[in-house]
Chain A
Amino acid sequence: MSLWNNYGMNRRHFMQHMATAAATIPAMNFLSHVQANADVLKSSQKSCILMWMGGGPPTIDIWDLKPGSKNGGEFKPIDTAASGVQISEHMPETAKVFGDLSLVRSMSTREADHGRGRYYMQTSYVPNPTVVHPTFGSVVSYEIGRNRKALEIPAFVSVDGGAGQAGFLGMTHAPFVVDNTGRIRNEPSEESRQRLGARLTMLDEIEAGFMNSRRGELPKAHQDVYKNAVNLMTSRQMVAFDVAKSDPTLGLEAESDATRDAYGRNGFGQGLLMARRLVQVGVPFVEVNMGGWDLHAGVFDTLKNQRLPQLDKGISAITADLKARGMLDNTVLVWMGEFGRTPRINQDVGRDHWAASWSVMLGGGGLKNGQAVGATDKDGLQIADGSKAYLPGDIWATVAHAMGIPINTVHTSKRGRPMKLANGGTPIQELIG
């Protein structure tokens, strides 16, 4: 029954497996072999990094420019490494790595309210008072994370995120939210570490009593979360959160100034760098938040001077870094917000909420990158004739495909309602080849 007693499992596994592995390894090369081995292992694990643009980014000024249209705005398009794909002039570094990235330019998603749009884009379902759908990060945690036995930290980490809901998949699959400094609050002191075992044994007794008193599911959820918390606080994988720390046995070095500069010394850049480290230790889903996109006024100045320089650095750095480490093919990159912004420029030189026609960026993950799928019309007001409109479910189905999660997976809500993965979306054919 004891929470604590159950924790031995993994260590035994490690110890017994260690014995086997060690027998085949010349002693002198122990360490280097471990590292090499770890690298190989890591690289075969699938992960996803979601770059979440809170507020709704003006994709018409970033990914799908409309030169010559009255809606075109102030920016010019530039060529990228992907032939025939042009993006904003303020994304020059990203343009260079665009062979490994792709655009879906024909998103059409209906929900133009922040809360509803966020829910729709992250879960593939529109909000419905009778059920709470899991965000895709929670789905990955459920489908992949729980089978990743060596992973001791949560399988869904959100950097600077909110309380993205795990819904009917349960609180153990909710995101673990950290800020971009990677500081974990309330780490245990040495003394409380010492007494943790005894205390958890006592806690278990109290919990057993409450569970027996038929108070519903709260105590069970509570216990699961405590297990995860204990796992986390006793794990050396914690170093992944701190870019200044190293652990060669996990294949993690302290990040150099050059690396940190390359990602950009801002919340988004440092968050992405942390995301790469988390992926290295096996976290299958990391969300990195970048806010400040709700640009109802002064859109061009803000983009040019603040948002885009950070975005450009971050995206280009993570793409290049993953590639250099041989991790890119196993790491899907997704860039999206809750919606795009109005093609029309309003009286305050801003753009308002717009869900009818906008873009999402994907990359890595072994997808057929270097292309733009779908198109909008010349003023960006609707999906171009002959172009297929895509829903969030199609994006997540594509991600699921890249991560090896079967597309026909069906989850069951607490009331026994079957819920298709990604709301029954279809992987985007052009991207999966």
Chain B
Amino acid sequence: MTASGMQSDAVAPESEELLRLVNLWCEGELGQEQFERMQHLLRSDASLLSLFVRFMHVHAGLVWDAGRILVDPDEKVGLATAAVACVSDPDLLFVAPETVGRQHRRSWVLAAGMACSLVLAGVVGWLAGRQPESVPVVAQVAAEQSAGAALPTQQVASSGAVVGNSAVSGELVRSERAPLQLNGLAPAKSPAVAVEPTSVADVAVQQRSVLDATVIAQIDQLLERSWSENGIEPAAAASDYEWVRRTHLTLTGRISTEQETAQFVQSADALKRQKLVSSLAADPATAENLAETWTHLLIGRSNARKVDQDSLWSFLREQFGDNRPWMETVGRLISAEGRSDRQGETNFLLAHLNDQATPATAVTARLFLGRQVHCTQCHDHPFVRERRQDEFWALNAFFKQAVREPIGKSDAMSATVWSLHDAGGESMAFYENLRGQQKAVLPEFDGQVVDATGSRRAALAKLLAEDQQLQVSRAMVNRVWAMFFGYGFTSPIDDIGPHNPASHPELFDYLTKAFADSGYDLRRLMTWIAMSRAFSLSSEQSEKLATADDPQEGGMPLFARIYPRPMGPEQVYDSLRTALTSLTGDGRKATQSGSIRHRRAWVEQFVRAWGTDDNEESLVFGSDISQALLMMNDRDLEQAIPRVAETLVTAGAGEGAVASASLRHLALGTLNREPTEQEERVFRNRYRSLVRSMPPQEAMKTAAEDMLWAYLNSSEFVSVH
């Protein structure tokens, strides 16, 4: 059947089929086999080819005219119709009929200048004998939708879990990976962790017996009650894949490796979740993660005040690694004395003694007590009666004797080592109220005035430990809860008080007391939450839950599902490293994440200090363009990706098997799950199109590189979910 012009299409029996295929091709929905079939049809019959050309002419004409073929100002015929159509269509950009033509013409004129210039630039390049290969893509409308998760940075930061450098603390004894002893289930055993009473700063921590199983049951019961009161069903239980990834991310600050994931999922042990929590809670990586998080909270990522970040980190690492009572850690930070390079805990206050120690006052209240007092520096709190201006200064007075002095160098500008000590004498704080009247207050906390000799700061530490309101416990419970769920019982997590009602007051009170009774045992607090039913729920939400339990816009969280949220920068860094090293087969290396300094430098590009008296900084991270550019183009990643692909591809033999195996490695190693059928398809398509122009092995490697790139750039990879 030769070309018989335009009337022939009805004749060919395959024309139906061709039209169907071409139609899907235009939608980008044609499978690879169908595509080959289409090419075959085009080769086989000139009438089909002719039909194809006519079909594509219609398609191309419509594309060129952007479907506005009728709106063209030159086409009087269509103008009215189009205008009417536009008005009847609420989704259209245009609002009123008279704007249709105008807007259209305007963009027309606007574009004209630009387009001419584009071509000309190309011509100019060409004439100069250069290859004008990259006349740039002029791309894309601004996205119309206003979607976007607006997660408060506070919470993102607080969940910013991190893995640190285990080399720093080489001599630390790694705790045995024994199964978690739920002492309610195993009453014969002694309490889960024995806490030594601490002597530092006279902090007396009283320990009462608390049973892990009781606490967990109580969490479940109180949450379940609130679910039924709110008439909702919690989300389904998370799969092993989902749970193991999230638990690793939350505790150690990195995703699970391919091997860890596979082992966990395959294990038939009924107690495997308990065992994993128990093991991870005691893992050095978790201590390092907490140390990094608290280093940021205490002195900031940008370290604008040039204190000894590493030294503080090491102090924290040791406290968390030894599971020292949280109250002891707080006490040591507040009452620290000594050199910044030797007594790491001094660096907290060294960073905040500027501006009459007002930052030290505000940060202490916020981090350790969960209270925002910064604005009471200048005036009474507008609606919390207890928070008066004098209260701020009374707290401030505890820090009045603290002195920061350079060691070695005489001038403060070039000093790198500092000493923190208390000078004797004056401990009153002076301030002026809004009327300019001078006031003076003595150090006072919780109604107790301290006017004796001795260290005021040690006295404060003691008062905190004796506080009947358990504010230190409450603040930490809220923070750790938010570390697991992205949201605490209050929002923001560090503004607790009668003015800011908690989502679950009874549970909040209960955990506050339980944590204090446990002797401020952080490991147990984390275990309770990790083993709760709420944490084992899926992040996949039913339609109802998406609206019924949505704290994103200030609603009270019900914790009836896991709220997906973006990773913090340290989590991204460590997860990238974990994925890349575990995929090259060296799983051990993954857990000893390289150098903290490299990570800090990497993270620092997203941090900006404001240089204000409250030592504020801001983190530009989480679904923004800079992060996208980094994930797409980072040079280190660019070098690492081919190495991974090389390992995967040379490891296999037969083509089909290699493809499946490689893809499975990639999915497990990055997203901690099996690849989907869609992913299989796209990966195979990529391979097939590559293998036409290169040897199979190279095509497989290239396809694996691209797939890995795509996995790492997915929103799933950078989410905690």
Contact = CB atoms under 8 A, between A and B. Distances in A.
Touch between chains A and B, by CB atoms below 8 Å: yes
Nearest to A147: B142
A307 interface: no
A294 interface: yes
Interface stretch (B175-183, B410-418, B563-571): B563-571
A245 interface: no
A202 B682 contact: yes
A202 to B, nearest CB: 4
A205 B716 CA distance: 12
A22 B116 contact: yes
B546 A216 contact: yes
A150 B372 CA distance: 45
Nearest to B382: A110
Interface residues of A, number: 129
Given A177-B626, A226-B628, A218 B719 contact: yes
A259 interface: no
B112 interface: yes
A93 interface: no
B665 interface: no
Nearest to B140: A231
A419 B531 CA distance: 41
A170 B143 CA distance: 10
A304 interface: no
Interface string A185-221: 1111101100110110111011111100111111111
A54 B611 contact: yes
Interface string B92-110: 0000000000000001111
Interface in B529-557: 539-543, 546, 552-555
A21 B28 contact: no
Contacts of A113: 374-375, 378, 614
Contacts of B118: 14, 18, 236, 249
A177 B620 contact: yes
B595 interface: no
A116 interface: yes
A322 B432 CA distance: 45
Interface string A293-316: 010100000000000000000000
Interface string B150-184: 10110000000000000000000000000000000
A54 B611 CA distance: 8
A332 B63 CA distance: 38
B108 A54 contact: no
B625 interface: yes
B610 A216 contact: no
Which of B63, B546, B612: most chain A CB closer than 10 A? B612
Interface string B486-505: 00000110010000100000
A160 B706 contact: no
A161 interface: yes
A222 B624 contact: no
A18 B136 contact: no
Contacts of B628: 225-226, 228-229
Contacts of B554: 128-131, 415
Contacts of A229: 625, 628-629, 632
B426 interface: no
A10 interface: yes
B84 interface: no
A218 B117 contact: no
A167 B136 CA distance: 32
Interface stretch (B40-48, B216-224, B707-715): B707-715
B139 interface: yes
B676 interface: yes
B116 A145 contact: no
A60 interface: no
A38 B117 contact: yes
A256 interface: no
Interface in B320-346: none
A174 interface: yes
A100 interface: no
Most central of A1, A198, A346 by chain B CB within 10 Å: A198
Interface residues of B, number: 106
A233 B632 CA distance: 11
B384 interface: no
Nearest to B609: A291
A206 B714 CA distance: 7
Interface in B99-139: 107-121, 136-139
A41 B111 CA distance: 10
A142 interface: yes
Contact of B148 (A2, A166, A294): A166
Contacts of A218: 149, 564-566, 623, 715, 719, 721
Contacts of A230: 139-140
A141 B610 CA distance: 24
Contacts of B121: 236, 247, 249
A249 B623 contact: no
A266 interface: no
Contacts of A15: 115
B612 A222 contact: no
B539 A215 contact: yes
B89 interface: no
Contacts of A414: 150, 552-553
Given A187-B633, A207-B714, A220-B147, A152 B375 contact: no
B64 interface: yes
17 contacts: A10-B138, A37-B113, A55-B612, A114-B616, A170-B147, A170-B150, A172-B143, A172-B145, A172-B146, A188-B632, A198-B686, A202-B709, A225-B628, A229-B628, A230-B140, A344-B436, A415-B555
Given A165-B150, A206-B678, 6 more contacts: A11-B138, A129-B554, A131-B554, A205-B679, A216-B149, A225-B627
Interface of A: 1-2, 5-18, 20-22, 25, 30-31, 33-35, 37-38, 41, 54-56, 112-116, 128-132, 141-142, 145-152, 154-155, 160-163, 165-174, 176-177, 184-189, 191-192, 195-196, 198-199, 201-203, 205-210, 213-236, 247-250, 291-292, 294, 296, 344, 346, 352-353, 413-415
The 8 lowest CB-CB distance pairs between A and B, nearest first, are A130-B554, A249-B117, A170-B148, A21-B112, A18-B115, A146-B142, A162-B618, A222-B715
Interface of B: 28, 63-64, 66, 107-121, 136-150, 152-153, 355, 374-375, 378-379, 432, 436, 491-492, 495, 500, 539-543, 546, 552-555, 563-566, 605, 608, 610-614, 616, 618-630, 632-635, 638, 676, 678-679, 681-683, 686, 706-707, 709-711, 713-716, 718-719, 721
